[in-house]
Amino acid sequence: MFVVVGEALVDLVGQRGGRTWVAHPGGSPANVALGLARLGNPVTLVTRLGRDAFGNMVRSHLEGSGVRVAGPDDEIATSLAIATLAAGVASYDFRIEWDVGALAPLPVETRCLHTGSLATALPPGNGHVIDLVQRERERGRATISYDPNVRPALLGAAESARPEIERLVALSDVVKVSDEDLRWLYPGRPDEDVARAWLASGPALVVITRGGEGVYAVTRYLEVRRPAVPIDLVDTVGAGDSFSSGLLDGLRRADLLGGPRREALARIDRTTLLSIVDAAAMVAAITCSRPGADPPTREELDAVAKGR
């Protein structure tokens, strides 16, 4: 089972020059949970949603795809991410409150904990999330997956954001990050150099998504580079999250998740890694071919794979 911890919110996506707005369920961790569920994985999302119309919409959207939604249920306004599109690429302005409260240990059947983005960056909730990651790392039963998915508008200066991100990288087994995130965190530094440095701090696998330039992945024993999947771009909302869900799904299908599989994950062979990365890229590409964070189902992914 997967447990995802993090924000669920509503993406308000501007249309027609900002005169019309369309509401889509979103939030990076919520999108990862949605993608995992649609690919056929049992997944629980620990988050915070209001009881308002937006919260009900997000909850119904997630549960309709098989995500179990857990977490505080109180009188708050559901958080918003206001997305402005330019040539299909989204930039965000946030109206968010993140306080998930103290988090219980993961169920014993959990094979992977995924978190990241605002949930690991915004107080007061980030302290509880980081504490959970630390405790679960010490227990050693679940694979820890992390995507920084940085939002500069909420993080202040890169210099102040880096130490906490690097701490979480060191606690993780699988790290997925975009080249855009790395350019903000380490201006002027080659992203492959950062990936190797991060790998040396603790993870078994670091993957960089590069948009139209494809994917780079590195382990202690391998480096692989893959081209981008050609698509008719609609928008990039949820693309990185869809990649994460495809990546984690592929690792599960290869039996490389769970604490006892940590060394096997570190020693993943080239053929398996290429297959997993390519499938994850296809999941992201399908998401980019339609509006909003709308990842594919297993049936859709299999149909596309058969048609290639």
Q: Is the pLDDT of residue 89 over 70?
A: no
User: In which band, very low, low, confident or very high, does the pLDDT at 211 lie, cut at 50, 70 and 90?
Assistant: confident
Tokens of 192: 């492959």
Cα maximum dimension of the chain: 53
Average pLDDT over every residue of 165-169: 97
21 vs 115, more confident:
115
Q: Report all structural domains of the chain as residue ranges with CATH numbers, in order of start.
A: 2-307 (3.40.1190.20)
Report the range out of 96-105, 165-174, 284-293, 294-303 with the highest average pLDDT.
165-174
What is the pLDDT at residue 84? 75
Average pLDDT over every residue of 98-119: 94
What is the pLDDT at residue 14? 75
Q: What span, in angstroms and rounded, lies between the C-alpha atoms of 31 and 235?
A: 15
User: In which band, very low, low, confident or very high, does the pLDDT at 180 lie, cut at 50, 70 and 90?
Assistant: very high
Which helix (H) or strand (E) element contains residue 90?
Answer: strand 89-95
pTM here is 0.93
What is the pLDDT at residue 23? 86
Q: Summarize pLDDT for 36-68 with one digit per residue, the tens.
A: 999 999 999 999 998 889 999 999 999 999 999
Q: What mean pLDDT value characterizes the chain?
A: 91
What is the pLDDT at residue 75? 75
Q: Summarize pLDDT for 259-305 with one digit per residue, the tens.
A: 999 999 999 999 999 999 999 999 998 888 887 778 998 998 888 87
What percentage of the chain carries pLDDT values higher than 90? 69
CA dihedral angle for residue 54, residue 294, residue 62, residue 71, rounded to 10 degrees:
-70
Q: Is the pLDDT of residue 83 over 80?
A: no
Q: Is the pLDDT of residue 152 over 80?
A: yes
Residues 6+ apart with CB under 8 A from 298: 38, 39, 40
Q: Is the pLDDT of residue 308 over 70?
A: no
Q: Is the pLDDT of residue 25 over 80?
A: yes
DSSP, residue by residue, 188-219: TS-HHHHHHHHHHHS-SEEEEE-GGG-EEEE-
Q: What span, in angstroms and rounded, lies between the C-alpha atoms of 142 and 145?
A: 9
- The DSSP bridge partners found for residue 217 are 207, 224
Q: Are the C-beta atoms of 244 and 284 separated by less than 8 Å? A: no
Average pLDDT over every residue of 175-187: 96
